[in-house]
Amino acid sequence: MLKDKTFKPNPLEGKKTQDSEGNSAHVTNELSKRDNDTTIAPIKASFDSIRDFKESTSAIIVLVYVDDCIILSQDQQSIQKFTDSLQHGPEKFVFTDEGSIDKYLGVNIEQLSDESGFKMTQPHLIQRILKAANINLSTTNSRPTPAVNPLHTRDEKGPERKHDWKYRTLTGMLGYLQLTSRPDCSMATHQCARFNSNPKLSHERAIKRICKYLAGTMNEGIIFRPDPSKGLECHVDADFAGGWSSGDHTNPEAVLSRTGFVISYAGCPVYWCSKLQSEITLSTTESEYVALSMAMREVLPFMNLMTEILDFLPVKSDKPKFYCTVWEDNRSCIKVAESPKFTPRMKHIALKYHHFRQYVSDGTLVIKPIDTLEQTADILTKPLDSTKFQYLRMKLCGW
């Protein structure tokens, strides 16, 4: 159960259950048959893993992942009535009620002492990662950042690895960690995962640096302090051809730009991404514009979800605001996005990167500049010095 002040202005209470006989498709299909049930009726949802139900004046959201469920509502009585109906209804679900939400899919969920929010951590997964990488905590010095320049290349002529631990296994565990509770490691993890097929000593050392960084921050994660004054926001940034200075000038991948963006609601990050762009861009303006388009493909479906739940949850649904860095060329990126015309220098960009311009022109999306030093997404695009990294980590993760 989430405490009263976890979400403001109205409280949300939740329960976690474990269905021992079914999976997400079975649960969803069975519950969708309750259309004619006057007590609990499903509302059509476009997300398979999320089902919502109207019960008198309250609403229930059921989040299903394989055989694990989280049940959310604005009052405990509705949750209890719904769980009773699962046990004694026509479906005869067999499940274990595990009570309040303190752990879910390996993630620890802890209320803050001042009840202003909650914290998500994965110390047990980090311990497994350190063990798999043969990191001895008693003899290891932590690192202030998970990555340093220069960016890594294939290093095909470089020395072979020294250790025999499974490189691909480590990148897989780090991938789950960064996607769930440690966005501060996203760029470093994705950079290492690119070389799963033939890792060299340089890539092995990069993995060990991430592990040493995690060793010093094992009990940290991501802190959510909802700010009711903020709606849906997205910070977007790009690192233009960041690998070019690494020396691998014969490899076209060295000139690919990296996109980084984080989508937030009420000041809390809900989705983030660090990813190489799939096409070579010719300027900082173009790389920023491609990054903006990539972020839009995630935000637009998120807006649809916000619309669906607006009727029964107290969400602030202001128009999403997109922030881009204030570099001179990025001002050009904003101009390109807002202009209804195609300039000669930008006509070569595929139409798929212009798909969101109609939402800008009709005011659904507002694009605003932001100072480079305040660009949260910068932490997802390239290695940073410790001072800037820690500042942006505070903005992103809350610590």
In the prediction, which pLDDT does 48 show? 47
Query: Phi first, then psi: what are they for 2, rounded to 5°?
Result: -75, 135
Angle at Cα 371 formed by Cα 258 and Cα 152, nearest 5°?
A: 25
Q: What is the mean pLDDT of each run of 10 residues along the chain (399 residues)?
A: 27 50 62 55 46 58 79 81 80 77 89 92 96 91 93 86 93 96 97 93 95 96 91 90 70 86 92 93 88 89 78 62 46 70 60 75 83 92 95 96
Q: Where are the domains of the chain?
A: 13-105, 121-216, 227-394
- Name the token pair of 196: 């799963």
In the prediction, which pLDDT does 261 show? 95
In the prediction, which pLDDT does 342 show? 59
pLDDT tens string 247-259: 566 677 788 999 9
CB 324 within 8 A of CB 367: yes
CB 144 within 8 A of CB 386: yes
In the prediction, which pLDDT does 326 show? 32
Q: CB neighbours (10 Å) of residue 66?
A: 14
Which pTM value belongs to this model? 0.83
Indicate the CATH number for domain 13-105: 3.30.160
In the prediction, which pLDDT does 340 show? 62
How far is 203 from 163, CA to CA, in rounded Å? 12
Class of domain 227-394: alpha beta
- Name the token pair of 103: 């752990």
Residue 174 burial class via C-beta count within 10 angstroms: exposed 0-12, middle 13-18, buried 19 and up? buried
pLDDT tens string 98-130: 877 888 888 999 999 998 999 999 999 999 999
